[in-house]
Amino acid sequence: MAAQDKPMAKNSIFTPFNVITGIILSAGLVLTVLRFTQGIGAVTNLDNTNPWGLWIGFDLLCGVALAAGGYVTSSACYVFGLKRFHSAVRPAILTAFLGYALVVFALHFDVGRPWKLPYPIFVSQGTSSLLFEVGLCVFLYLTVLFVETTPAAFEWLGFKRLRSWVVRLTLVLTIFGVVLSTLHQSSLGALFMIAPSKLHPLWYSGYLHVYFFISSMFAGMSMVIFEGSMAHRWLHHKMDATHLAESDGVALGFGKAASFVMMGYVGIKIIGLAVDNNWHYLTTGWGAWFLVELIGFVLFPAILYSVGAREKNLTLIRIASLWTVLGIVLNRLNISVIAFNWHLPSAERYVPSFMEVGTTLFIVTLGIVVYKFIVTRMPILHEHPDYKEVH
Amino acid sequence: MEFFTLHDFMTYTKGITYLVMGAILIFMPLYWLYLTDRDD
């Protein structure tokens, strides 16, 4: 039989996943070269009126919020002692680490001059700036997440002594992670408090930092459920019996907790309306959009979660988790892009260019590829045979 | 609703806020009971 007549080898690298990600990553590399050789104006629609666009609104704000699963899961397991969520800790920590790493990576596209990244921390500290606080927290938390991720890598590499040293730090790292997350999740919201005349009153509030922090909790829980369902669907063969057995309990427990927090979030959003007396805006077009976000993407999935948790309906909980993740994306984009500079005429409003969207797609795809690379090699969705029962 | 002084505004908005907070304080424990009443 001629070589070309042979059936394609079963483990061919030309799988649909590889082909699609290969195309996106190649296009992303071209965009990266364009960005760093031609300048930010060549690839974005940003200007002095709209200096922050999709890369901040999605890559940074959504990236940080959806990476909150790391601190939520590790604190549930190690601080609150809910050991039944233990199997979800490593995937959540890995997702958080990759999320934050990609946030920093994406920030380079926006800021440029990557060699200047250490300046705010080590050279010229702007201690009166919220951005400095966010930068310092992200720098420290990324380091914490990296250390928290290393036990899986050490198990994979066979570095038993190093692993045992890092595992001893688990509780300290978890507490440090919760403190840092509390600080910077809220500070990202507080950043927008500097622009009361630019952000629509329905989204602007003196409680913006509280909203960002509370919403990061259910964003993180929803992301853990969503990611767990994706892993169950596509990486089933990498999960051991413990992870498979505990995954339903994780989804039910986190779904119930997310529902409760989301109801509380709706409550404090209503308090925000009352404090600023913004009720009259609800009858406008912006009010309708605000209600779509609050009722359609917070209250509705909260109810879905509650019904799913009561009926033990995992499909409903998984739908609610995706819905909530989309709601968080909508909320962050509303604050940073859609309801920002809302009073400007439409000709002066910011709409991202296709190259900005392409770069964002490139960064998300990069995250998925690295996640897949790690979980197919390291003990993330299963326990390493040498360390079973060692927690 | 028209306001002529800051005091008017604060009285009105604080009044509404306290009512909302009272409703939330009653609602949230009930919602927790609704979420957990089928737990084993």
CB A123 within 8 A of CB A48: no
User: Which of A260, A312, A313 best tests the B interface by mutation, with the highest count of B CBs <10 A?
Assistant: A260
What would the two tokens of residue A145 be?
A: 């997440």
What's the mean pLDDT when you consider all of chain A? 92
Q: Which residues contact A89 (CB under 8 A, 6 or more apart)?
A: A73, A74, A77, A78
Is the ipTM value over 0.85, yes or no?
yes
pLDDT band per the 50, 70, 90 thresholds, residue A370: very high
Q: Which residues of A touch B34 (CB under 8 A)?
A: 306, 310
The predicted structure's pLDDT at residue A391: 54
pLDDT band per the 50, 70, 90 thresholds, residue A389: low
Of A260, A275, A306, the CB nearest to B13: A275
Is residue A199 classed as helix, strand or coil in its secondary structure? strand
Tell whether pTM > 0.95. no
Q: How far is A53 from chain B (nearest CA, A)?
A: 34
Contact (CB<8Å) B13/A306: no
The predicted structure's pLDDT at residue B38: 82
Please state, for a pLDDT cut of 90, what percent of chain A lies above it: 80
Report how many Cβ contacts below 8 Å link chain A to chain B: 42
Residue A266, judged by CB atoms within 10 A of its CB (0-12, 13-18, 19+), counts as middle
User: Which of B18, B24, B40 best tests the A interface by mutation, with the highest count of A CBs <10 A?
Assistant: B24
Contact (CB<8Å) A260/B13: no
Rounded Cα gap, residues A324 and A301, in angstroms: 6
What would the two tokens of residue A197 be?
A: 């005349």
pLDDT band per the 50, 70, 90 thresholds, residue A2: very low
Contact (CB<8Å) B20/A260: no
Q: How far is A90 from chain B (nearest CA, A)?
A: 27
Contact (CB<8Å) B34/A306: yes
Of A264, A271, A310, the CB nearest to B28: A264
Any idea what DSSP says for residue A340? B
Q: Looking at chain A, which residue has its C-alpha nearest residue B37?
A: A310
Residue linked to tokens 């779509």: A292
The predicted structure's pLDDT at residue A382: 87
Q: Which residues of A touch B32 (CB under 8 A)?
A: 260
Residue type, A80: F
The predicted structure's pLDDT at residue A5: 47
The predicted structure's pLDDT at residue A287: 97
Q: How far is A260 from chain B (nearest CA, A)?
A: 7
CB A338 within 8 A of CB A352: no
User: Which of A275, A279, A304 best tests the B interface by mutation, with the highest count of B CBs <10 A?
Assistant: A275
Rounded Cα gap, residues A58 and A336, in angstroms: 9
Rounded Cα gap, residues A330 and A290, in angstroms: 10
* CB atoms near residue A142 (< 10 Å): 19
- Chain segment A26-37, per-residue pLDDT in tens: 999 999 999 999
| Contact residues, chain B to chain A, C-beta under 8 Å | 1, 9, 12-13, 16-17, 20-21, 24, 27-28, 31-32, 34-38
Which residue, among A373, A298, A367, has the nearest Cα to A100 in the 3D structure?
A: A367
Q: Looking at chain B, which residue has its C-alpha nearest residue A280?
A: B1
